[in-house]
Structure 1
Amino acid sequence: MKADRITFGAAAIPEPDRDWLAAVEELPVESVWQGGHLLPPSATGEAVARLSLLTAWTERVRVGAAVLLLPLYHPVVLAKQLADLDARSGGRVSAGIGVGGEFRHEFEAVGVPLAERGPRTDEAIEVLRTLWRGGAVSHAGKFFSFHDIELRAVAPGMRPGGPPLIVSGRKPPAMRRAARLGDGWLPYLLSPRAYARSVETITAEASKAGRNLDGFEWMAYVYCSVRRDGDRAREDVRGFLGGAYGDKPPEMLDRIAPAGTPEQVAARLQEYVDAGVRHFVISPATHEDTLGVVRLAATEVLPRLSLPAAVSS
């Protein structure tokens, strides 16, 4: 994905749906995303199963997990699953990865100590990349070990080196992980100002590690609602996010979840562009007509956005 232009993706909310995905593929949308938990409090799907549906029910767009809670999965199993999906889809899969922790019982149920989720994630990233290099490989780590094994995808379509691993989160450990180990950065619930700070942190951490960030993907998962009626859009966000994230006041929701008319949302997203975002995953913050939100975002918000002069010149 090129950094010299602004692109949109869409979150398939609440669940992947064949007709919804077909309609989105007709729009100027370049990716579709879904995440998932193992033991969520409501009846929602799991990340790899949802990613499988996205892969099967689309033909053109990039498909991604946003996000997959990596410490809950054995990386050898996951490496095989993602390799097969990437191969079957012709190299369209990306994995947004996070550490989770909001549902402690998920970790207890699979025997993963909550306090280990960070280092397990770091080592799991190493295991995935080792297996995706091809050939017979070995690994001896704190959490995972194997000797002289080879992963083979079901078809030759997996990209060399495997699918991109896009790090998600909001806190400094996630930023450091993105800088050292990730192929991109996909935070959520960040204001434009906070996103700009994250860019500074990741850039500085990468420099410390001697890493060149050429090709690194600067993304943002943005809850929003776009309507002809701006008041309805703002009511969408309050109803969708207000209770879920601790009854945040409207002014805070406005900073992290743009809502309004296409003109109003474009003005807010432009602030993210100026902060460094190049690919938005638009997550409709509404319980009704999510396709309508994505359609307006892709056809009337995206054309209003522009790269900063220093980048576009």
Structure 2
Amino acid sequence: IGAGEAMNLAPYGISYEKAAQKLEEFLTVVKALWMQDKVNFKGLFYELKDAFILPKPSGIPIFVAGNSPKTMVITAKLGDGWIPFKMSPEVYRKNLEKIRGIARSIGRNPDEITPSILLYTAISRDRDYARRIVEEQGKILLAISPRRLKELGYKPPTEKLDAHKTVFSLEILPELEKVKEVPFEALEKSFVYGNAEDCIEGIKKFIDAGCRYFILGILNPGPERDEAIKTYSEKVIQYFKEKC
């Protein structure tokens, strides 16, 4: 669960203001309802009086999706797992250590938090074709996340496509021309692409950085996606199964 993005909230009349605070308070309330017989709570967004749920769920892990400093703090306090995205192995390692440090500072065992990632990838026997897929789709994925580009060490070509702040409309179509200015080097740092062996090596870098759970955002288009999933299953995932 994440704080959301303006482009997915504002069109439906849901305010994006104080999104991280809403997320933290929601998780606090949910955990209380799962663990306590009755819950009394008064916050900025939720108010409960003698509230309860039955039957109570058991063992449901909460993975916090987010890259921002605020969501990393929420992960350290309330999350059972962390799911960032569009992040290089080096930045991943650094941010994971931040989360673990915060967890320790509040008396929590950091090993209780499963390090995960949403990893965008394209796989093909033709390495150049996989590169083209990543270039075509990856540039827009990074352009709508200017903070991720800055984190990777690159200046965003525009701030007006920021998914956290922007509601997409005809007025911002001219900004899409700037997407092509996203350097491919930024994609190479944060996406995994190529043949099966290339993807194995790319995933290894994130494992070395501390990641233990992968959600694959496969970019292969249309009917090719089934073949990409099959290749991942038979070659990439099978490789790691045998190694583990």
TM-score (norm 2): 0.77
The alignment covers a number of residue pairs equal to: 206
| Secondary structure of 1:280 counterpart | strand
Distance 1:195 1:214 in 2: 16
Once the two structures are superposed, the pairs formed by residues 158-173 of structure 1 within 5 Å of their partners are 159-160=57-58, 163-173=60-70
Task: Note the alpha carbon deviations across 1:270-289, whole angstroms, 9 max, x for none.
Answer: 00000011111111113232
Task: Note the alpha carbon deviations across 1:167-188, whole angstroms, 9 max, x for none.
Answer: 1111222211111111111100
Q: CA deviation at 1:100?
A: 2.3
From the superposition, tell whether residues 195 and 152 of structure 1 become closer, same or farther in structure 2 (CA, over 3 Å).
same
Q: Does 1:290 align with 2:187?
A: no
| Secondary structure of 1:245 counterpart | helix
Q: Is the 1:282–1:294 Cα contact (8 Å) retained in structure 2? A: no
Tell me the equivalent position of 1:152. Answer: 54
Aligned pair partner of 1:229 in 119, 126, 131: 126
Distance 1:145 1:293 in 2: 47
Q: Does 1:195 align with 2:92?
A: yes
Q: CA deviation at 1:132?
A: 1.6
TM-score (norm 1): 0.61
Q: Is the 1:240–1:287 Cα contact (8 Å) retained in structure 2? A: no
Q: Does 1:103 align with 2:1?
A: no
Distance 1:274 1:128 in 2: 33
Q: CA deviation at 1:213?
A: 2.4
Tell me the equivalent position of 1:124. Answer: 26
| Secondary structure of 2:120 counterpart | strand
Structure with more of its chain in strand, by fraction: 1
Once the two structures are superposed, the pairs formed by residues 64-79 of structure 1 within 5 Å of their partners are none
The one-letter amino acid of 2:95's match is S
Tell me the equivalent position of 1:207. Answer: 104
Distance 1:105 1:146 in 2: 25
Structure 2 residues without counterparts, runs of 5 or longer: 144-178
Task: Note the alpha carbon deviations across 1:48-89, whole angstroms, 9 max, x for none.
Answer: xxxxxxxxxxxxxxxxxxxxxxxxxxxxxxxxxxxxxxxxxx
Distance 2:183 2:242 in 1: 31
Q: Does 1:239 align with 2:136?
A: yes
Q: Is the 2:86–2:142 Cα contact (8 Å) retained in structure 1? A: no
Q: CA deviation at 1:148?
A: 1.0
Q: Is the 2:116–2:215 Cα contact (8 Å) retained in structure 1? A: yes
Tell me the equivalent position of 1:278. Answer: 212
- Percent sequence identity over aligned pairs: 25
Tell me the equivalent position of 2:201. Answer: 267
Task: Note the alpha carbon deviations across 1:75-125, whole angstroms, 9 max, x for none.
Answer: xxxxxxxxxxxxxxxxxxxxxx11123428628713x3x331111111110
Q: Is the 1:165–1:182 Cα contact (8 Å) retained in structure 2? A: yes
Q: CA deviation at 1:209?
A: 0.9
Distance 1:275 1:219 in 2: 11
Distance 2:109 2:26 in 1: 22
Aligned pair partner of 1:250 in 169, 184, 192: 184
Distance 2:2 2:226 in 1: 26
| Secondary structure of 2:211 counterpart | coil
